[in-house]
Structure 1
Amino acid sequence: MSEIRYADARYTGQSGPIFGLSLKVAVLTLLTLGIYRFWGKSRIRRYVWSSAELDGDRFEYTGTGLEKFLGFLMAVVFLAVYLGVVQIGLTFIGLTLLGEPETDAGMAAQALAFNLTFLSLVPFLLFALYRARRYKLARTRWRGIRFGMDKGAWGYAFRAIGHYILTILTLGILLPRQSFHLEKYMTDRMWFGDTRFEQGGRWQDLYAPMKHVFIGLAVILLGLAAGIALDMGLLLVALPVIGLLWLTIGVIHYRVQSFAYLTSHKTLGGQIAFDARPQTSTVIMTYVVGGIVIGLAVAIIGGLLGAVFLTTVEGIATAMPPVGVMILLILGYVAMILGAGAATTALIVQPIVAHYVDTFTAINIDAANAIRQRVADRGADAEGFADALDIGGAI
């Protein structure tokens, strides 16, 4: 019997190259009024995918900007027609988003129409989440073999709506059940070559990662109750603030550790298992340190630009006409915003991706040698709905 071999993943991307790439993409996206972002996202993904390797073989991203752009246009046309039909229906029953309401009843009707319009988009938001993952898998290769995902976006959307309603009705208590079953629905439809993934585990086990969420909520409620009952303003303010901070950390902890649990209970073909051990503390520190560095840089640059503005307004001697200074000032602020976005990718997004990759291990990796190529998945669209609904911005 051969020995089971473990293969650790590794991420080799660097901050400098991805900062330069992200900045270039941001500038070209601005100059093309947003059109280049489809090509830019593909370029960034190719860099990130190629920086991740498993057992010495790098991943490959084959998606293109053109297919993403065409998918976006198709989704926009469909959504425009769909929302037009929804608005006609709302107008027919006396509700409209158009015009300025003149009475309280009109304002209430307009607010109701707005909420109903948003709710009518929820199935498409969930549909887009499934299709976005399906597209990324269909355009990802390892050892030259494609990943893939079966059709099932509408099934996911309606199941997700049911889970969300159940989670809301139970005040979040059944969130672990929602997380597990929605991930299982996706995972059980994922493929690598001709071999299927399977999600194992129990949804009840996700309550352990959620404990800090419950503690944060308890501290908030305790602070409010104690502050009101004892008429102590300090408790009324201090404990809810502490609870909110704890709750924020708890949400991050749940996202990180639920990912670790679900990944560690996935299998491929019943032979290859996985182990994921990302640390919540590392993720939080990456956010904190990266946020501080970016915040300080923005504050310093913003202060210098503000000084230029004050110098111009107060009429202090300058070799350049005020209009020219104002143009440079505007360009400076735009550059600052673009630089902050690129720095976020380099100092926060990529380090977190690197941490997830570096703490991932495949178990019994030699079983992958028997996996064969799958037929190209031509049914996976290019994240059109995800981009049109502004939920496709993540790497």
Structure 2
Amino acid sequence: MGHPGTGRVGYDGSRFGIGFLFLKTVLLSLMTLGVYNFWGRTEIRRAVWNAVSVDGERFEYTGTGQELLFCFLKAIALLIAIGLALLVLGWASVLVRSGLGLQLVLAAVYLILAVLAVAAVHLAMRYRLSRTLWRGIRFGLDGTTGRFVLCTIGYSLLTVATLGICLPLLRTWQARTMVDNTRYGTVPFHMEARGATLIWPWVLTLLLAVPTLGISLVWYRVREFRTWSASINVAGLTLDSRLRLGDVLGPAILLTVITVVFFVALLFPTIIEWLEVWRTRMPRPGANSASVVGIGIYVALAPTINFIVLGHTVLKASCETLAIGGALDAGPRLSAGNAGGR
């Protein structure tokens, strides 16, 4: 039994309401030495998920702060175990005066950190999808984290070897892998986009990045999103994004201006001090404490500022310019063992 019709995605989140959740998370995380961050992130996700709807039916996020905290503690325990093992190997290399052994240990540190960072991306997506419901039916992510890590490292090396030109291959492969392994209930997603079609737009973006003061980067991300969206289908349903550069350009420029002005204002005293040092040949001054504190405050508030100025607009424009067409040919697969599961 299909579900005919064409639908639109909606977003009615509050710019300052959700922005306040970001600010609340920062402040309470500082007061609790980071512990509240897990509950704050969960509250933000619930608000954002609930603000997005398809044909009037809202998404639901069922994750909890306790789950995020437990995952964090497991990650810390793993890092400690790996760190201790590498420390022992490093100490042994020092004792036997093996320079090669010490270099291999350092190389292992960087490799392990890279592997864990990539694995975290896949595992985080799996967790978020497993806690996302629409019409009471849960999403999921299949596939192995190991394959995702190995292929990502391979594409990353190719990107480095080509001085960044092959970045679309990496990003599109990651997106396609995520989408192809996503399911709604037992209904699979499929994505056909290939990164090769985005190589020349990316090269053009790099060439124009400086002359356009970064505007070409925004243009590319819009084109990338539209290319990816147009190649996704879900059991007969297709997506069509009409997102335009003009939909997000204004807020992107505003965020850039705010960031530049803020940092120039903060670093101005330090710049003056360095100019005075250069003029008088006096001893080099220490770091300006006001600048350091100001930068720290800005970094802490960056997620709030980013959402209020840019994130909200991007979410709203991305959702409201996305059309869903076709008929969902899912049959009874949707509800079989996938409804509820809270």
| TM-score scaled by length of structure 2 | 0.78
> Partners in 2 of 1:92 and 1:281 — Cα distance?
59
Relative to structure 2, which stretch is displaced further, 271-280 or 134-143? 271-280
SS at match of 1:210: helix
Aligned to 1:206: 198
SS at match of 1:34: coil
* Pair 1:258–1:94, CA change in 2 (3 A): farther
> Partners in 2 of 1:49 and 1:144 — Cα distance?
14
Q: Deviations over 1:263-290 (max 9, x none)?
A: 2101112x11111233334333212224
Aligned to 1:153: 145
* Pair 1:116–1:249, CA change in 2 (3 A): farther
SS at match of 1:131: helix
Q: Deviations over 1:52-72 (max 9, x none)?
A: 111111111111100000110
Q: 2:322 aligns with which of 360, 378, 385?
A: 360
* Pair 1:292–1:374, CA change in 2 (3 A): farther
Aligned to 1:86: 86
> Partners in 2 of 1:196 and 1:27 — Cα distance?
40
Q: Residue 294 of structure 1: CA displacement?
A: 7.1
Match status 1:255 vs 2:259 = no
Q: Determine if contact 1:193/1:374 at 8 Å carries over to the other structure.
A: yes
* Pair 1:125–1:247, CA change in 2 (3 A): farther
> Partners in 1 of 2:336 and 2:39 — Cα distance?
26
Q: Determine if contact 2:90/2:101 at 8 Å carries over to the other structure.
A: no
* Pair 1:371–1:34, CA change in 2 (3 A): same
Give the letter for the 1:156 counterpart.
F
Q: How many residues align?
A: 314
Q: 2:207 aligns with which of 209, 215, 231?
A: 215
Aligned to 1:344: 306
Give the letter for the 2:223 counterpart.
Q
> Partners in 1 of 2:318 and 2:243 — Cα distance?
6
Aligned to 1:177: 169
> Partners in 1 of 2:296 and 2:161 — Cα distance?
44
* Pair 1:156–1:18, CA change in 2 (3 A): same
Q: Deviations over 1:307-366 (max 9, x none)?
A: xxxxxxxxxxxxxxxxxxxxxxx9999887765642332222222222211221111255
| TM-score scaled by length of structure 1 | 0.69
* Pair 1:3–1:179, CA change in 2 (3 A): same
Pair member with larger Rg: 1
Aligned to 2:48: 48
RMSD: 3.6
> Partners in 1 of 2:11 and 2:103 — Cα distance?
48
> Partners in 2 of 1:194 and 1:142 — Cα distance?
13
Instruction: List aligned pairs for 1:54-69, cutoff 5 A.
Output: 54-69=54-69
Q: Determine if contact 2:94/2:102 at 8 Å carries over to the other structure.
A: no
Give the letter for the 1:261 counterpart.
T
* Pair 1:80–1:134, CA change in 2 (3 A): same
Give the letter for the 2:249 counterpart.
I
Between the two proteins, what is the percent identity of the paired residues?
A: 27
* Pair 1:289–1:365, CA change in 2 (3 A): farther
SS at match of 1:9: strand
Aligned to 1:286: 251
In structure 1, list runs of 5 or more residues that go unmatched: 96-105, 217-242, 307-329, 378-395
Q: Residue 173 of structure 1: CA displacement?
A: 3.3
In structure 2, list runs of 5 or more residues that go unmatched: 270-291
> Partners in 2 of 1:83 and 1:361 — Cα distance?
48
